[in-house]
Amino acid sequence: MGANGQLGGNFGSFVDAQTGKGYQTIGHFEGMSIVTTSDKRPLSAPIVSQDAVVMGLVRHSAKSQVKYIAFYDKKTKSVKKTIDILYDSEGNIVPSQYKIVKGKRVVIGTHSHRWEEHAGGNTGRVSHDEDNRFLLTKRELRWLQKAERYNQSQAE
């Protein structure tokens, strides 16, 4: 990491071993590798990371705003949890909270997902699974604050 939280460190491209999708590390910020897709394909978290323990993912077209934070298992190198960061129309992070919908407690706003290893050794999660949306923990909120500081540093 560079001085005052600026981007710094090793840069380079890599391919996700499970999906074959290309990514590019564009820097490091407060202990988080900042990563984007190598092309304009939709952004998603790499399933496997050889180096990073925490990765902030930014869109190819909007590198100044972290969209996801991915956490990786140090032993297996597979993604174990992600945070989906939601923004309002003014670019502010929408807080994580509960809302009652049809008598059921639902997490809205910024939230986390757990990832699991499936048969055959592949890691994944079911998209839009309401039972796999969680409020952020204190630890995750600290990483969210780092993502917010990254966003602010890129706006300056």
Whether 96 contacts 86, CB under 8 Å:
no
Q: What does the angle CA 141 – CA 6 – CA 51 come to, to the nearest 5 degrees? A: 70
Residues 6+ apart with CB under 8 A from 14: 22, 23, 24, 25, 46, 50
For 134-138, what is the mean pLDDT?
94
Structurally, the chain folds into a number of domains equal to 1
Range with the largest mean pLDDT of 15-29, 77-91, 136-150: 136-150
For 38-66, what is the mean pLDDT?
81
Query: What confidence score (pLDDT) does residue 42 get?
Result: 72
Comparing 18-22, 87-91, 134-138, 144-148, which segment has the lowest mean pLDDT?
18-22
Q: Which two tokens stand for residue 90?
A: 């003014």
- Residue 58 pairs in a beta bridge with 66
Mean pLDDT of the chain: 83
Task: Give yes or no for residue 7 having a pLDDT over 80.
Answer: no
| Whole-number percent of the chain with pLDDT over 70 | 83
CA separation for the pair 9, 149 (Å, rounded): 18
Query: What confidence score (pLDDT) does residue 83 get?
Result: 94
Range of the domain at 84: 3-155
For 28-57, what is the mean pLDDT?
83
The pairing of beta strand 54-59 with beta strand 32-37: parallel
How does pLDDT run across 67-114, given as a tens digit for each residue? 999 998 888 888 899 999 999 999 999 999 999 988 988 889 999 998
